[in-house]
Amino acid sequence: MVNQSSESEQEIIAPGRSGTGWAKRAPSFPAPAHSDQLALLIDFGSTYTKVVAVDVVREVILGWEHWPTTVETDITIGLEKAVAALHRRLGFTPPYRHRLACSSAKGGLRMVAVGLVPELTSEAARRAALGAGARVLKVYSHHLSPSELVEIRKHAPDIILLAGGTDGGNSEVILHNARMLAQLPASIPVVVAGNKDVAEEVRSTLQLDGHQVVVTENVMPELGQLNVAPARESIRRLYMETIIEAKGFRKAESLVDSFLMPTPAAVLRAAQLLADGTESEEGWGELMVV
């Protein structure tokens, strides 16, 4: 995993418009012998778009650059500027075999989670959202109130995760909350991951007002039993299918090998790789990412 500095740190080590000040600290390597194993790593930040060229075989960073993110016009403009600056610094145009990207631009993936009990289904919903790489704006519990609905509207989340009740348990609260959430703009999709006995009724309630609804398995099917993976994957899939388009990132996605991961999800994946290792290399075991 390539260690990237935070954008606040870059103000010290990269004060210029381009990445010149930052890249002066990069080591200088000759053109790679294994040119078919080069990777271009991209991070679309809210302020800067960062690019790093890596020789995967020799396990060395060839160089890096950055450019102000052009999210309000065309996000690929800033990317092209950063890549061009990187290639000038390298002195050649690498034939990249891999192009991988993550993004926190435009706020990244912003979510609100709604559950029944703070320590149970609400917490399970929060974990599912975080595991999908979302920035959780707030977690709500019990019956949503009119003032809380106003607050959610102001948060303007990309996705709402609605949970509540174990399977066969409380159904009244999630149905109430579905009726409340149906009053929000239909442009906000909802992932339903609560009591399976009323999941279809919840779906119908939200769809009547035009919301896109994805129903998945309960985040807590039994008391104390977490089941966040299905909800997490539903959130990721929804992000890939709709949110990337809404944020204007589809063009950028066409320039990389796979979908633009939310930056927190990319960091989580990297931490898991460091901890667990691969088939050919042992991991470090338990670790903490700060």
Q: Measuring CA to CA, which residue among 189, 194, 49, 215 is closest to residue 109?
A: 189
Q: How far apart are CA 163 and CA 45, in angstroms?
A: 30
Query: Which of 257, 260, 251, 261 minimizes the C-alpha distance to 97?
Result: 257
Domains defined along the chain, listed by start: 7-106 (3.30.420.40), 109-234 (3.40.50.2300)
Report pTM. 0.72
**Rounded Cα distance, 193 and 163, in Å:** 5
CA distance 285 to 80: 38
Provide the phi-psi class of 241: left if phi over 0, else alpha when psi is between -120 and 50, else beta. Answer: alpha
Alpha helices in the chain (DSSP H): 7-13, 20-23, 75-90, 121-131, 146-155, 172-181, 199-207, 229-238, 244-246, 250-253, 263-276
pLDDT tens for the chain, 290 residues long, are: 444 433 333 332 333 334 443 444 444 455 554 457 899 999 998 899 999 999 988 889 999 999 999 888 888 899 999 999 999 999 999 999 999 998 887 778 899 999 999 989 899 999 999 888 888 999 999 999 999 999 999 999 999 999 999 999 999 999 999 999 999 999 999 999 999 999 999 999 999 989 999 999 999 999 989 999 999 999 988 887 777 776 777 788 788 887 778 888 888 889 999 999 998 899 999 998 88
